[in-house]
Amino acid sequence: MSRRKYASRMRRISRDPNVRTFPDEKSLMAAWRAFKAKPSDKLRNRLVEHYLYLVRFTAERLRAKLPDEVDVEDLMSAGVFGLVDAIDAFDLDRGVKFETYCAPRIRGAILDELRSMDWVPRLVRHRAARLDETRRALEAELGRTPTEEEVARRLRLAPEQFEKLRRDASAVSLISLSQKFGEPDSDREVSEIDVVPDAQGRDPAAEAQRADIRELITNELSRAEQLIIVLYYYEQMTMKEIGATLDLSESRVSQMHSAIIARLREHLGIEPRPEHTTQNTDVLA
């Protein structure tokens, strides 16, 4: 059986916290002695099932201090293998209770798994925690949010060092886009990706206003004048190229362009600019 399937099976068994493979201490010790005399997968699995409640207990305690994205079942998967290692290494003759012996191993296995999944170096995470603790302490003392200078002074860091620490700390936290949370006034769940602002998106209301302005403008122009505006501002053609396309001279195109811009500015109530013939206009963009 693969490690993944084995861990999945153990997690299913552990969902009932009252499950114990052995009904009393006598039968449990008999199983221990039999396993140490002649180890077998069957006896090991029975011992693992009996002590799974320790894995769940440890995983749930650690989960309480972790972000919401961390699943207790994933922690248990790592903890199960810490339990297996503890069972294999446990020495009956040392007179130590197995529960006392295995707890640090289960916890260590879970923490090792968390560290292996963490892309942020431990030193950076430690510094980020120190920065956060300092900010909270200053906020409690001052009764307000501390400034960056006050935090740097408390940490005894030069501005350049503090800026580097702040940049490193900003890279520590990641948010899962699939994370869900409830809306305050609704029972509906919303995913994080649904509320992330799109920096490249355009405001629909502004787009509608721009479309209305473009329609208003083009209604004031003839077909040839519209072509000049489109070719010059959208196709980025020169006056000479536009003239060749419309069978007009370059100077005639330039005159028509100047007249069009002047008329549009007057229609829109915009003060004329001396160099309007060589500058693009946001209204037409």
Whether the Cβ atoms of residue 119 and residue 96 lie closer than 8 Å to each other: no
- 181 forms bridges with which residues in the sheet? 190
276 pLDDT more than 60: no
Distance CA 100, CA 138 (A): 40
Tokens of 260: 């069009």
Choose from 9-13, 27-31, 219-223 the range with maximum mean pLDDT.
Answer: 27-31
pLDDT band at 285 (very low <50, low <70, confident <90, very high): very low
pLDDT, tens digit, 9 for 90 and up, residues 34-73: 999 999 988 898 899 889 889 989 999 988 887 766 778 8
The span from the CA of 196 to the CA of 111, in Å, is 31
More confident position, 83 or 178: 83
Q: CA-CA distance, 238 to 170, in Å (whole number)?
A: 47
Q: Is domain 3-117 in CATH 1.10.1740.10, yes or no?
A: yes
Question: For all residues of the chain together, what is the average pLDDT?
Answer: 78
Do the domains 120-172 and 3-117 match in fold? Answer: no
Both tokens of 245, joined, read: 């396309």
The two three-digit tokens of residue 17, written as one number:
């916290």
204-284 carries CATH number 1.10.10: yes
Q: What is the pLDDT of residue 184?
A: 56
Q: How far apart are CA 69 and CA 169, in angstroms?
A: 19
> Which residue, among 161, 130, 166, 129, has the nearest Cα to 147 in the 3D structure?
166
**Rounded distance, CA 161 to CA 46, Å?**
55
DSSP codes joined into one string, 127-143: HHHHHHHHHHHHHHHHS
Residue 282: band (very low, low, confident or very high) from pLDDT cuts 50, 70, 90: very low
The full set of domain ranges for the chain reads 3-117, 120-172, 204-284
pLDDT the model gives residue 238: 92
Residue 31, exposed/middle/buried by CB under 10 A (0-12, 13-18, 19+)? middle
The pLDDT value given to residue 210: 78
Q: Which of 21-30, 93-102, 189-198 has the lowest mean pLDDT?
A: 189-198
> Is the CATH number of domain 120-172 1.10.10?
yes
Instruction: Decide which of 112 and 285 is more confident.
Output: 112
Percent of the chain topping pLDDT 70: 71
pLDDT score of 131? 85
